[in-house]
Amino acid sequence: MDIIIKFILSSSVILIMFSLAGLLTWVERKQSAVMQDRIGANRAKIFGFKAMGLFHAIADVLKMLSKEEFMPQGANKFLFNLAPYLSVVFALIGFAAIPIGDRLIIGDRVIELQAANINIALLFIFAMMSMGVYGVVLGGFSSNNNYAFLGGLRGSSQMIAYEITMGAAIMGVIMVFNTLDLQLLVRAQGDYLLNGWLPEWGIFVQPLAFILFLTAATAETKRTPFDLPEGESEIIGYFVEYSGMKFGMFFLADLVETVLVAALMTTLFLGGWQVPYLHPDGFHFPWGAQIVLSNLPVTILGVLSFFVKVSLFIWILMAVRWTLPRFRYDQLMDLGWKTLLPASLLNIALTAVVLVLLK
């Protein structure tokens, strides 16, 4: 029975996140249109209904499936076909360790709303995100194209530079909450500061780490202003020789990574599924008022809170993508190695000093 529940939970999480990533093709069009005072995608329709351009996501899939897939002469057939699958699969696997809610109690059964309850979940997610670089490198290497190969090299060096900063930035969060288990980390953020008024979320106890992680995570998604592995005005990128659905999988992998990064930032810095003043038995407000709730509405509110916060971070990432211009490559590497990494190490030192003084 437990295996069936885990299978249903895992399938549901992957399906929801995959659908959310697909929906981002519409979000990106519409949000950029709003920011640029345009109408945006509104042509695709079914039975006369346009649904604000939502059908364009379906049209994109149909177009990708109907396009001829091309393989350049001299390409490594096995690696060329494998690369886009690696990019998507490893990004999706990372969602298994993200807690989307608290315990759901049905009768005598307690269900943790986390597909894979791993006590080192944070390391697992970082490992899966790191493995995604193989899709980028192999895609560029196997194409037998110098520009694609250059894009793959750019992608690998960029991920090395910014993943170090990501790892160093979250060290402060780990030092404060003293766990690598994301479910325990979210529950630890259920405490309060300032006599019960301010939630003890990561963004309040580690503000510098939040800024560093947000910047490095944006670079991890390989999207503007950190889209140097693509650089369509220069090299066209590691997927230049891909067409059809394989090209679509590389594009989808970037969107899946965007959702994964948003979910991870929500978990680390915005309390995950925590709702301010909501406890397992209902709301307890700092001025003394209480609202008693059963487990089901509390769990539903937690899940809704998680996805609202994820949507907020996706909006921020999209706003950055349509606001800032692309960095030069030397600027990209200087920012990672000379600014973000020293700042993240400084944050670790400051956090250690503060923790020692508080004790």
Task: Render each residue's pLDDT in the chain as its tens digit; 359 residues.
Answer: 678 888 888 888 888 888 888 889 899 899 999 999 998 888 888 888 888 888 888 888 888 889 888 898 999 999 999 999 999 999 889 998 999 999 888 888 888 899 888 889 999 999 998 898 899 999 999 999 999 999 999 999 998 899 999 999 999 999 999 999 999 999 999 999 988 899 999 999 999 999 999 999 999 888 889 998 888 778 778 999 999 999 999 989 999 999 999 999 999 999 999 999 999 999 999 988 999 999 999 999 999 999 999 999 999 999 999 999 888 889 999 999 999 999 999 999 999 999 999 87
Whether 97 maps to a domain, the answer reads yes
Whether 60 maps to a domain, the answer reads no
Report pLDDT for 100: 93
Counting the structural domains of the chain, the total is: 1
Whether 283 maps to a domain, the answer reads yes
Whether 187 maps to a domain, the answer reads yes
Report pLDDT for 334: 94
Say how many C-beta atoms besides its own lie within 10 A of residue 17's C-beta.
21
Whether 1 maps to a domain, the answer reads no
**Is the torsion defined by CA of 333, 334, 335, 339 positive or negative?**
positive
Degrees, nearest 5: CA angle 166-126-314 = 70
Report pLDDT for 1: 61
Whether 33 maps to a domain, the answer reads no
Degrees, nearest 5: CA angle 329-332-336 = 145
Encoding tokens for residue 330?
A: 């030397």
Report pLDDT for 209: 96
Structural domain of 184: 69-358
Whether 36 maps to a domain, the answer reads no
Q: Which pTM does this prediction carry?
A: 0.94
Report pLDDT for 314: 94
Specify whether the CB–CB gap between 91 and 288 falls below 8 A: no
Specify whether the CB–CB gap between 262 and 251 falls below 8 A: no
Whether 64 maps to a domain, the answer reads no
Report pLDDT for 19: 86
